[in-house]
Structure 1
């Protein structure tokens, strides 16, 4: 990002993925051919996973029928995968909104996932979707679906949808979304997921986005504690949070394939470094973010959630000032 602050941040669900932008515009308008082409030309499973997630969210938000039209005109494994994606998104959205009939939506989505898995046996996305649906099961272990209370890979870990995660992970080892969804499911079951995140970081290799999982949990925990008025001014100054931020910076930011970076991952790293006072270390992360900011995690630490962009800009300017020694950046936001 230019150090003169000329780039204005904005949120776009496609983030750095320029090809995804066109497909998003089309699918919102009910057109599916650019989505079909986009999914055929994903260079990694991770790209396919993230693109399909964003596209499905756009279809649901627009209340569109592009995917159903695609299935009718040119049925394919990609179209079946996208139908599973859309149905999972609908079920999760209904659950978050507290609507009735979530169980029926989840069953319909689960059937679509298994159908997509049969037609695309190498594709991790249907299995990622099944892990996502696991969070809609009963929190009580004895009432959960059998595949959601499987034996963990290590004795100290909780029971959970490990079998489904294994299917996703063996197709796309270290799948970012699959492990995030696993954390969501375990949290829905009342598990202390911070312990699970620490276990994941103990074996995640350098360059893996899984090294950022603790930063997500810390930001979300901060938001919850803040909402109930139980925060202390020293929340971000603990050794645990500082260690997590350093580990993500050194093990992920400086090692990862830059074409695989998620704008939201970068945002969580920048926020953690800023909040722990590592301003100069955060500056290169802000430079990479450029204009592609995401509301999370900035809305968690802003004075009010709708002031998240102002919070991002203040943090960015302070960190750039620390890196350059130019106090004009900090002064501009006073």
Structure 2
């Protein structure tokens, strides 16, 4: 982990450190004139196809996850498919955006069409776990029974054993707030902890679960919120935080597509746990790159990040 002496201005970067994705996102904010639509569709196609060609499934899912919400309110996914109706990546992107729209709207208009699209893409590119990842997300949204979602989950892990996005979908599906129970949720986390290699994209999943539970305590109010900070002294939370900090120092950690998202989660947790020296080291590694979650759970993400980083620096120096 590099220690940066300067303090770059914190900024919200959905692409994280993916510069090619960042270039595409900057094009997507321009007005959709006819010529610009061609450029925008080309930019989307280029970044998705590049990750696919490299068989970098972690980065491909990251790019789809960031692009999907950006274009969900427009017609760029339809425009790409209209221009290239036989392109599997265009078909997958349209299906991905449809699931994003379903989450935003609270319902899926044509789930069967998404399943057909994923099946076609999977048949044409059998090594790619991404259509199966999307089916996990769809089945979670539809609240399908556990055996059904486990079936598509198994297709993912057969192709990509540590696919971060599939694991996050299953984590949420198994939570008591959705289709699972506290016991199922904890068993899943225990399985991930026991099996995940330290350099895998899923290495930050346990801390993500810990922070989600902590945020829920804060947002619930009452006595639980009042004493929520004591959670960081509990064995599970403390162990997860310690392991996450060790992992972020390991060689190759920052090469993962979502590494900076995991570092934001870690920085948030370290500040909340009042481990300011470690938090300062993580903020330095982040270089001012802010993610919406978990900072936005208590206000403006950039402001909360900035205040937390300053608090960590002041308390470390005290």
TM-score range, shorter chain: 0.7 to 0.9
Superposition deviation, residue 253 in structure 1? 4.2
Partner residue, 1:56: 68
Partner residue, 1:25: 26
Partner residue, 1:157: none
Residues 228-267 of structure 1 show CA distances to partners (whole Å, capped at 9, x for unaligned) of 2222141222221111011112135424442215222111
Partner residue, 2:99: 88
Q: Does the CA contact (< 8 Å) of 1:274 and 1:282 recur in 2?
A: yes
TM-score by length of 1: 0.80
Q: Residues of 2 paired with 1:242 and 1:261: CA distance?
A: 26
Q: Residues of 2 paired with 1:137 and 1:40: CA distance?
A: 28
1:217 and 2:209 equivalent? yes
- From 54, 63, 69, the equivalent of 2:79 is 69
Q: Residues of 2 paired with 1:317 and 1:89: CA distance?
A: 35
Residues 195-254 of structure 1 show CA distances to partners (whole Å, capped at 9, x for unaligned) of 311221111111123232222222222222222222214122222111101111213542
Q: Does the CA contact (< 8 Å) of 1:124 and 1:171 recur in 2?
A: yes
1 or 2 for the larger relative contact order (CA 8 Å, sep ≥6)? 2
Q: Residues of 2 paired with 1:220 and 1:39: CA distance?
A: 29
TM-score by length of 2: 0.84
Partner residue, 1:153: none
- Unmatched 5+ stretches in structure 2: none
1:6-45 → structure 2 map (5 Å cutoff): 7-27=8-28, 29=32, 30=37, 31-42=40-51, 43=54, 44-45=56-57
Superposition deviation, residue 105 in structure 1? 3.8
1:1-334 → structure 2 map (5 Å cutoff): 2-5=4-7, 7-27=8-28, 29=32, 30=37, 31-42=40-51, 43=54, 44-60=56-72, 63-74=73-84, 75-95=86-106, 102-138=107-143, 144=144, 148-150=145-147, 161-187=149-175, 188-192=178-182, 193-229=185-221, 230-231=224-225, 232=227, 233-262=229-258, 263-300=260-297, 305-321=298-314, 325=317
Q: Residues of 2 paired with 1:308 and 1:37: CA distance?
A: 30
Q: Does the CA contact (< 8 Å) of 1:207 and 1:253 recur in 2?
A: no
Distance 1:203 1:255, change over 3 A: farther
Moved more, 79-88 or 22-31: 22-31
Residues 56-77 of structure 1 show CA distances to partners (whole Å, capped at 9, x for unaligned) of 11110xx222222222222312
Q: Does the CA contact (< 8 Å) of 1:295 and 1:308 recur in 2?
A: yes
Q: Residues of 1 paired with 2:299 and 2:272: CA distance?
A: 19
Partner residue, 1:156: none
Q: Residues of 2 paired with 1:312 and 1:92: CA distance?
A: 27
- Unmatched 5+ stretches in structure 1: 96-101, 139-143, 151-159, 328-334
Superposition deviation, residue 128 in structure 1? 0.5
Residues 156-212 of structure 1 show CA distances to partners (whole Å, capped at 9, x for unaligned) of xxxx62221121122222001011111122222132213311221111111123232
SS for the counterpart of 1:209 is coil
Aligned length: 295
